[in-house]
Structure 1
Amino acid sequence: MSRKMRIIVGITGASGSLYGYTLVRTLHQLGIETHLIATEMGVKVMQFECGVKVDDLSEYAIIHHNQNLFAAVSSGSFKTDGMVIVPCSMNSLGAIANGVGDNLLSRAASVVMKERRNLVIVPREAPFHVIHLKNMTTLAEAGVSILPASPGFYHKPTEIWELVTFMVARILDELDIEHELMERWGEGK
C-alpha cells in the first residue's frame, strides 16, 4: 500500500516567513500532505511580515504546536519524506546542530536526521559569525542540506514573488519534488 508524500515544514522566528508560507501553499497545491510546526517567534514574525496567522494555514497543512512532543512527527515510526525549516533562525539551527530536542521543531528535525530522511535548512541571517558557520558545518557533515535564502537573478525577476518562488523551487528540488515553478537554466527559450 503506497501512501501520499508527506513533508514537515518548520517556520522559525527569522525574517523571511513568506518563504515558509509560500512553501506550505505550494506543497498543498502539489497534493503533498504537509505538517507544519512554527516556533513561538515564527508565529509572531509571520503575523508581522505577512499579516497571516499560522492557524490560517490549517486549510493547507496539519498544524502541530511546538510544545507538543507527543505529536506524530516526533516519532521515527511516523513516516515522512523529509523536513524543511524555512526560514531557520540561528537559534533553531544551533539547537538542532547540538542535538537539543526540547521542542517539537528540533525534535522532529532530530528524528528526520536519525531516520536518514532529507532535512533542508534555509537559514535567513547575514552576516554569519564563526559559531553559525560551525553549526552549519556540523549539520552539513550529518547530511543536512543547507540552502541559504539567496535567490538567483538569472531569471530576471521584477517582483518579490518571483524571488520567493525561486527559493521555493530550489527547496522542492532538494526534496526531489517535481514542479514547474521556474524555468531551469539551459532549458529555456
Structure 2
Amino acid sequence: MRNERVVVGISGASGAALGVRIVERLSALPHVEIHLVVSDAARRTLDLECGPDAMESLLPLVRCHHPNGDIGASIASGSFPVSGMVIAPCSMQTLSAVATGRTDTLLARAADVQLKERRRLILLARETPLHLGHLRNMCAVTEMGAIVMPPVPAFYHLPQSLAEVVDHLAARAIDLLALAAGPLAKSWEGTSPPVFRSGEAKDTMPPHGE
C-alpha cells in the first residue's frame, strides 16, 4: 500500500496546539507521510503557546519539514502527488493569500497547488470577530474548492479539558481529509434511539421519499 502524503501548514494565528495535535494524530495513522511547513510567525506562536521545544518535537513525526521560504520545495509543484493539505491554525493573512492567489511563501503556494489540482484543502481559520474582508476571503476560498473549518469546539461529547477540545477539533480536521477507514472524531448519535414502525425490521430502510 502506498503512503498517503499530507501537507500540514501552521501559520501564525493563535491556536498553535491545533497544528501540533493534527501532526501527532496523523503520525499515528498507518501509511501517512506528513510534509510540514511552518511560517515565521507560527514559530513564535508555537514557542509562546506550546513551549520552546514544540517545534523540535514535531520534526521526528514528519517525513519532511520544508522551510517556508523554499518555494522550490516538492510540495510547491502540482506534479508532486499529495492527498490534501490542512492549515491549522489558518491566520487571516494566510487566508487572504490563498483567497487572492498570492504565492510568495511556500505555505501559500502549497495551498494554491491543492486548489489548482482539485485536492482537499482544509483551513482552520482562526479569528473573531470577523469583518467583511475576512468573510469575503472565506467565501472566495470556498468558491475555489477549499473547506473553511473555524475551530469551533463541540460540547456534546462533554470535554473535561482543553486538551480534549483540541483533540476533537484535530480529529474533525483529519476526518475531512478522508484518510482513515472511519471517523476519528466522536460522532453525534442523537439523544434517543430511533423509532421503528410496528413490524418493520430495524435494518430496513424506509421507502424512497419518506
TM-score normalised per structure 2: 0.85
Q: Contact between 2:172 and 2:184, CA under 8 Å: does it hold in 1?
A: no
Unaligned runs of 5+ in 2: 194-210
Map of 1:126 onto structure 2: 128
Q: Compared with structure 1, are the counterparts of its residues 90 and 180 closer, same or farther at alpha carbon in structure 2 (3 Å cutoff)?
A: same
**CA distance, structure 1, for counterparts of residue 117 and residue 183 of structure 2:** 29
> How far off its partner does 1:183 sit?
2.6
> How far off its partner does 1:53 sit?
3.8
Task: Give the residue type in structure 2 aligned to 1:45.
Answer: T
Task: Give the residue type in structure 1 aligned to 2:13.
Answer: A
2:115 is paired with a residue whose SS is: helix
Q: Contact between 1:38 and 1:54, CA under 8 Å: does it hold in 2?
A: no
2:49 is paired with a residue whose SS is: helix
User: Aligned runs of 1:3-14 on 2, under 5 Å?
Assistant: 3-14=2-13
> How far off its partner does 1:184 sit?
1.2
**CA distance, structure 2, for counterparts of residue 43 and residue 112 of structure 1:** 23
Q: Contact between 1:165 and 1:181, CA under 8 Å: does it hold in 2?
A: no
Unaligned runs of 5+ in 1: none
User: Aligned runs of 1:1-189 on 2, under 5 Å?
Assistant: 3-31=2-30, 32-51=32-51, 52-61=53-62, 62-178=64-180, 181-186=184-189
Task: Give the residue type in structure 2 aligned to 1:44.
Answer: R
Bigger radius of gyration: 2
Task: Give the residue type in structure 2 aligned to 1:55.
Answer: E
> How far off its partner does 1:166 sit?
1.1
- How many positions carry a matched residue from both structures? 188
Q: Contact between 2:175 and 2:184, CA under 8 Å: does it hold in 1?
A: no
> How far off its partner does 1:162 sit?
0.9
2:82 is paired with a residue whose SS is: coil
TM-score normalised per structure 1: 0.95
**CA distance, structure 2, for counterparts of residue 183 and residue 86 of structure 1:** 20
> How far off its partner does 1:181 sit?
4.0
Moved over 4 A (4+): none
Task: Give the residue type in structure 2 aligned to 1:117.
Answer: R
1:153 is paired with a residue whose SS is: coil
1:49 is paired with a residue whose SS is: helix
Deviations 1:91-136 (A, max 9, x none): 0100110000001000000011100000000011100100000000
**CA distance, structure 1, for counterparts of residue 21 and residue 121 of structure 2:** 18
**CA distance, structure 2, for counterparts of residue 141 and residue 180 of structure 1:** 26
Deviations 1:146-186 (A, max 9, x none): 00010110000110111011101110121012256443111
2:14 is paired with a residue whose SS is: coil
**CA distance, structure 2, for counterparts of residue 174 and residue 99 of structure 1:** 23
2:6 is paired with a residue whose SS is: strand
